[in-house]
Amino acid sequence: MTSTLAALNQWVDEMARLTQPMRIHWCDGSPAEYAALLAQMLTRGELHALNAQTHPGCTLHRSHPGDVARVEHLTYICTRARDDAGPNNPWMAPQEAHARMDALFAGCMRGRTLYVVPYCMGPIDSPLARCGVEITDNAYVVANMRLMTRMGAPALARIERDGYFVRGLHSTGELDPERRFIMHFPEELSIQSYGSGYGGNALLGKKCHALRIASWQARQEGWLAEHMLIVGIQNPQGQTHYVAAAFPSACGKTNLSMLVPPEDMRRAGWKVWTVGDDICWMAPGKDGRLWAINPEAGFFGVAPGTGARTNPNALAMLDHDTIFTNVATTADGQPWWEGLDGRVPALDWQGRPFDPARGPAAHPNSRFTVSARQCPSFSPRAEDRQGVPISAIIFGGRREALLPLVFEARDWAHGVLMGAAMGSETTAAASGAVGVLRRDPMAMKPFCGYNFADYFAHWLSFDQPDAKLPRVFHVNWFRKGSDGRFLWPGFGDNLRVLDWVIRRCEQRMDAVETPIGLLPDARDLDLTGLDLAPADLSELLHIDRAGWDRELTQLAEDFAAYGPRLPARLEHERRRVLAALNASASPRRAASG
């Protein structure tokens, strides 16, 4: 199998001459090819079979202990002008980056197979979808790309029709941390990754293409590529509203996208439909609304913490045809991780006899890769070529204090400010210290492929007279009391907050005007069956004016890093909120419109 597209064939030939593989395999994405790949990796010990009775078709991959997370400090945006990459990205000049990568790739696939992986991000026939080709020498990457994208012959056919594609070159190399780089060339629509087999570094369709390169494309073409889940909320009247929500990694995005309503709301007729759990591409439709697709076809989710209470839908889809990475195993060969159940595993994530003194049994960033179609809440509209209309955009993060449970932006510019001001505690999904608060605008700090100042301006540009933009909200499930206890139960009960969000979108609910935005009246949240103390609810909705003054003052320092490219409208909005905060008296109830 080769391509009818001369540019693709020429590029594959050039990369083969550079990397010198033993053989070349063009992937067709067929079930037979996938089965053969798994069989080869099982034979070579790159995968391990799990219990065939309890988890048919499931396998386990164990990474090198030094290759278990994204490496943001080694992930570069390579633009001709440094300012186009911005202070939010490590930058390297394209000429220097190409020279460095060419030296690493030279002869790196000797004795290995070069796999040509054509893939489509988004439904094959969607005008919002974009295609790419990843060249890799790693069969584990190929298998994951088959689950995570529309990969193979249908994608190749679309590439041949379109005549263009994002070019991705990857090699596992020697897994030497000193010889590990992930380079993005947005002006060339190309990606080069060397020295890692970890998902975010090696599955080039995921963060590299679907966010860093796509965000650059989106700015040029007038759409948005965002680190957001997409979920449909169906109310008892049978109406479904679609919500896009941005959270930093490991802050509950997958749980929210697959939320199971609490029993009282389920009996009332509420349903939740999963469109996507990680990435959202949005474009204005002819009706002025933003329409969204999930460019991915699968889930690459964090295993620890996934359990019957936190995410029963995720658990239900993981009992067959799943690739697990860096989880522990029980004595009878079942996958296990912290938060799953009370069993004691036999082997840890490195295949050693489990010893609690060595740390968690499963790596904190251990993963599952599975087709989205296996999710019980998979939306029947997930493959719609035009996407789904977005009623609300929600920003959130892990903040123990200050940020209330939920508040709404006054308008689009205020919503962009809320997104730009997002902050969260770091997690195990990225290498480095855990638990450190960092500013993470729109949850895109590791993923925006260009200068954040230009990115904010691009968001603001959607505020046109004929636009019917989503309402914008901010949520914080992680606020704690003075005793260190989480004040909000979270998980399925988060639907109670989404209920208020949806009613605001339908203009059926009033709100309380405050300097930072519109908050719910405590009486307007459906807390049926919740054992939530009035004092806790009051704290969840409390506005710490002195704390917000400090937050907005600090935000000015963060904005200053972007210099004159920062949109004046964004700084004006920050000053407006700060002035309102300083001039405010008592909050007042606002209209529902």
Q: What is the pLDDT of residue 328?
A: 98
Q: What is the pLDDT of residue 251?
A: 78
Residues marked as catalytic = 251
14 assigned to some structural domain? yes
Type of residue numbered 178: E
Burial of 360 (0-12, 13-18, 19+ CB in 10 A): middle
**Are 529 and 435 within one domain?**
yes
Tell which of 222, 242, 268 closes a domain. Answer: 222
Residues 141, 202 contacting (CB under 8 angstroms): yes
**Are 394 and 531 within one domain?**
yes
373-400 pLDDT tens trace: 999 999 999 999 999 999 999 999 999 9
- Separation CA 3–CA 7 (nearest Å): 9
pLDDT band at 423 (very low <50, low <70, confident <90, very high): confident
Q: What is the pLDDT of residue 111?
A: 98
- Separation CA 411–CA 330 (nearest Å): 52
Q: What is the pLDDT of residue 589?
A: 60
Range from 94-108, 140-154, 425-439 carrying the lowest mean pLDDT: 425-439
Tell which of 222, 249, 273 closes a domain. Answer: 222
Range from 133-142, 263-272, 380-389, 429-438 carrying the lowest mean pLDDT: 429-438
**Are 406 and 523 within one domain?**
yes
75-118 pLDDT tens trace: 999 999 999 999 999 999 999 999 999 999 999 999 999 999 99
CB 58: neighbour CB atoms within 10 A? Answer: 23
Helix residue ranges per DSSP H, 291-350: 312-317
Q: What is the pLDDT of residue 139?
A: 98
pLDDT band at 424 (very low <50, low <70, confident <90, very high): confident
Q: What is the pLDDT of residue 472?
A: 98
**Are 239 and 214 within one domain?**
no
353 assigned to some structural domain? no
pTM higher than 0.85: yes
Closest CA to 160 of 7, 28, 15: 7
DSSP line for 443-478? G-TTT--S-HHHHHHHHHTT--TT--PPEEEEE-TT
356 assigned to some structural domain? no
pLDDT band at 70 (very low <50, low <70, confident <90, very high): confident
Q: What is the pLDDT of residue 586?
A: 56
Tell which of 222, 242, 270 closes a domain. Answer: 222
Q: What is the pLDDT of residue 37?
A: 98
- Separation CA 345–CA 223 (nearest Å): 46
pLDDT band at 432 (very low <50, low <70, confident <90, very high): low
Q: Is the pLDDT at 460 greater than 70, yes or no?
A: yes
Q: Is the pLDDT at 138 greater than 70, yes or no?
A: yes
* 431/208: higher pLDDT: 208
Q: Is the pLDDT at 481 greater than 90, yes or no?
A: yes
- Separation CA 55–CA 42 (nearest Å): 16
pLDDT band at 349 (very low <50, low <70, confident <90, very high): very high
Which whole number is the average pLDDT over 270-274?
98
Distances (CA, A) of 410 to 422, 481, 505, 519: 17, 28, 13, 11
Q: Cα angle vertex 191, ends 190, 196, to 5°?
A: 170
59 assigned to some structural domain? no
Q: What is the pLDDT of residue 428?
A: 54
Our count of domains for the chain comes to 2
Q: Is the pLDDT at 427 greater than 60, yes or no?
A: no
Distances (CA, A) of 396 to 198, 256, 376, 404: 26, 11, 25, 10
40 assigned to some structural domain? yes
Q: Write a three-state SS string for 179-219.
A: HCEEEEECCCCEEEEECCCCHHHHCCHHHHHHHHHHHHHHH
- CATH classification at residue 488: 3.90.228.20
352 assigned to some structural domain? no
Q: What is the pLDDT of residue 585?
A: 59
Domain containing residue 18: 6-47+66-222
Q: Is the pLDDT at 409 greater than 90, yes or no?
A: yes
CB 396: neighbour CB atoms within 10 A? Answer: 25
368 assigned to some structural domain? no
**Are 216 and 230 within one domain?**
no
281 assigned to some structural domain? yes
Instruction: List, in order, residues 6 or more apart from 280 with CB less than 8 Å away.
Output: 224, 225, 226, 227, 228, 229, 230, 244, 292, 293, 294
Type of residue numbered 532: L
**Are 256 and 186 within one domain?**
no
- The per-residue pLDDT of the chain, averaged, comes to 95
Residue owning tokens 């080769």: 2
**Are 569 and 468 within one domain?**
yes
Burial of 218 (0-12, 13-18, 19+ CB in 10 A): buried
Q: Is the pLDDT at 288 greater than 80, yes or no?
A: yes
168-220 pLDDT tens trace: 999 999 999 999 999 999 999 999 999 999 999 999 999 999 999 999 999 99
- Separation CA 314–CA 378 (nearest Å): 11
Q: What is the pLDDT of residue 426?
A: 60
- CATH classification at residue 204: 3.40.449.10
* 582/249: higher pLDDT: 582
Which whole number is the average pLDDT over 7-31?
98
Q: What is the pLDDT of residue 436?
A: 63
Closest CA to 178 of 260, 92, 67: 67
**Are 197 and 249 within one domain?**
no
Which whole number is the average pLDDT over 140-149?
98
**Are 386 and 495 within one domain?**
yes
Q: What is the pLDDT of residue 290?
A: 98
Q: What is the pLDDT of residue 438?
A: 81
Which whole number is the average pLDDT over 148-177?
97
**Are 182 and 238 within one domain?**
no
**Are 238 and 209 within one domain?**
no
**Are 254 and 203 within one domain?**
no
